[in-house]
Amino acid sequence: MTKYVFVTGGVVSSIGKGVAAASLGLMLESRGLKIAMMKMDPYLNVDPGTMNPYEHGEVFVTDDGAETDLDLGHYERFTNAHLSQKSNVTTGSIYNTVIQKERRGEYLGKTVQVIPHITDEIKSSIRMLTTGTESDTDVVIVEIGGTVGDIEGLHFLEAIRQFKYDVGPDDCCYVHVTLVPYIEASGELKTKPTQHSVAALRNIGIQPNVLICRTGVHKLGEDQRRKIAMFCDVKESAIINGEDISPLYAIPLNFKEQGLDDTVLKTLALDAPEGDLSEWREIVDKLAHPRYHVRVAAVGKYTGHDDAYKSINEAFVHAGIANDCKVDVQWVDSEQFENGTLPEEALKEFDGVLIGPGFGSRGVEGKVKAVQYVRESNTPYIGICLGMQVAVIELARHRLGLEKASSTEFDPETPDPVISLLSEQRGIVHMGGTMRLGAYKCELREGTKAYEAYGSKVIQERHRHRYEFNNAYRERLEKEAGLVVSGTHQLGEHELVEIAELKDHPWFCASQFHPEFKSTPLKPQPLFRDFVKASLERKKLRGA
């Protein structure tokens, strides 16, 4: 019998529901349980694929090509849960499905309403997580996006309220993440926001079984615990202190010490042997006491929002663990290189440079200039998606003399489209219609940096892009510009370039795919790992 845990949030957004859900998943897996995870987002977009990273943060991509919320990245970094298209639904996707059913006449002429039709569709999407190969799932963890009290999330809350009566009280647990702010003037934590948040949840008909109280750097005292327990009707033992802890990966250990997993299992009437988190403790210890330190410049254009490149930041943390060093990542706005700032002035103090993904022409010329500096100064370089494309453009311009070489994304009239759409993609107008999304096989060439990093001839990595390397320029770039094509994917009659390197450079590797999506603390991504190693070696050579 599958059990269900629903994680809600109150008082403010970005309260930490995703990390709390992922931490619980980690603890339950350590106890031998198979879990599935899901995020429900209240916005009307069908998925976050077309949303601005400044507004929503990064778009996380699963193996099957689903464009999802960044919290799914937390789920994959903390757990072994298999995530797919089924793991993220939005208000838009639910309504879209219901409206399509109505148009097909599946409701037999009945008036279609939020209750029961929308709520039934939501519940159906939850049950879909445990069909087919996932039918042996022990616990499903569902995070509800947004904040209790928001009108836009009421249909999700109503659906999970009903779920308890569908499956029975012993098969359902509600975990509410809330805020207990510290008021400087009075010098104390205030529980009233939590009381109001739980009251709003109870007014909907949901009584939380567990409260995770975010308290900043402070801890709940006994008086606060008693007050919360009394006014919220939650046992003191089920009130978990969620103080801010660094690094992020120490949070599950904090929850473990307070018995969060025990409380949830007791609520669900589940027995499971005690878990072993020793590997996780070793990771946290390494992060707390690194032997070395490197500085990496990450050149991008969404530098004002930490979540815009969340998976890249975390992949550097994982690569640091593998190299026993702290990776200090500083995001550098590429547009400054178009406005007079020289790349050598901004980048010379760094041990390595990354150019990450992005869409649109803004900041691209600045990235091309940054690549030129990296290539000429022998600075270790890792390029991701657009980072590979601008590297190819830079080589074509400065080693082949094709001064106007570009991508047709940025300059449709370029005489040398070294990056372009495949012929069969042209003319497709729907956003996403030309996108290569999800996991694709890549064959590596022996003797290359990529092969050395992966130690395997065939790999699978995830993509999210529209434009490709133009093979019409491949021979010249390889023979005259020092380009090394180290990884390819066979797509019908096309051999697509997946990884490009430089022959005469200490470490220069750029991929069309997004390696950051599959990096975890226990399995650092090979390209990131070796890039950080090369950056560390450069730092030692410079005597820095």
The structural domains of the chain, ordered by start, are 3-282 (3.40.50.300), 291-542 (3.40.50.880)
- Give the list of residues 6+ apart from residue 272 with CB closer than 8 angstroms, or none: 28, 31, 32, 33, 265
Q: Identify the DSSP state of 441.
A: E
Q: Identify the DSSP state of 146.
A: S
How far is 408 from 393, CA to CA, in rounded Å?
Answer: 11
HSE value, Cβ hemisphere, 13 Å, CA-based, for 160: 32
- Of the candidates 510, 489, 514, 308, the residue with the CA atom closest to the CA atom of residue 393: 510
Assess whether 325 carries a catalytic annotation. Answer: no
Q: Among 314, 394, 409, 516, which one carries the catalytic annotation? A: 516
How far is 526 from 499, CA to CA, in rounded Å?
Answer: 13
Confidence at 48, pLDDT banded by 50, 70, 90: confident
How far is 4 from 12, CA to CA, in rounded Å?
Answer: 24
How far is 473 from 415, CA to CA, in rounded Å?
Answer: 12
pLDDT score, position 302: 64
Per-residue pLDDT of 81-99, as tens digits, reads: 999 999 999 999 999 999 9
Please provide the DSSP assignment of 319-358 as one string.
HHHHTTEEEEEEEEEGGGGGTT--HHHHHTT-SEEEE---
How far is 317 from 529, CA to CA, in rounded Å?
Answer: 10
How far is 462 from 426, CA to CA, in rounded Å?
Answer: 23
How far is 441 from 488, CA to CA, in rounded Å?
Answer: 8
Q: Among 172, 325, 385, 442, which one carries the catalytic annotation? A: 385
More confident: 425 or 456: 456
The model carries a pTM of 0.93
Phi–psi pair at 212, nearest 5 degrees = -110, 115
- The percent of residues in the chain predicted with pLDDT above 90, rounded, is 87
Is the N-terminal amide bond of 252 cis, ω within 30° of 0?
Answer: no
Confidence at 458, pLDDT banded by 50, 70, 90: very high
pLDDT at 294 exceeding the cut of 60 = yes
Q: What sign does the CA torsion over 264, 266, 272, 278 have?
A: positive
Q: Identify the DSSP state of 278.
A: H
Q: Among 82, 463, 505, 514, which one carries the catalytic annotation? A: 514
Assess whether 74 carries a catalytic annotation. Answer: no
**Mean pLDDT of the 6-24 span:** 95
Per-residue pLDDT of 242-290, as tens digits, reads: 999 989 999 999 999 999 999 999 999 999 999 999 999 999 999 999 9
Residue type, 320: G
Q: Are 240 and 210 in contact (CB under 8 A)?
A: yes
Q: Per mean pLDDT, which range of 55-64, 197-206, 219-228 is the poorest?
A: 55-64
Assess whether 173 carries a catalytic annotation. Answer: no
Instruction: For the chain, state the CA radius of gyration.
Output: 25
Element (H, E) at 224: helix 222-232
Q: Are 21 and 71 in contact (CB under 8 A)?
A: yes
Residue type, 106: E
Q: Identify the DSSP state of 448.
A: S
Q: Identify the DSSP state of 220.
A: -
When the pLDDT of each residue in the chain is averaged and rounded to a whole number, the result is: 94
Per-residue pLDDT of 369-405, as tens digits, reads: 999 999 999 999 999 999 999 999 999 999 999 999 9
How far is 471 from 490, CA to CA, in rounded Å?
Answer: 13
Element (H, E) at 374: helix 364-377
pLDDT score, position 305: 61
Confidence at 308, pLDDT banded by 50, 70, 90: confident
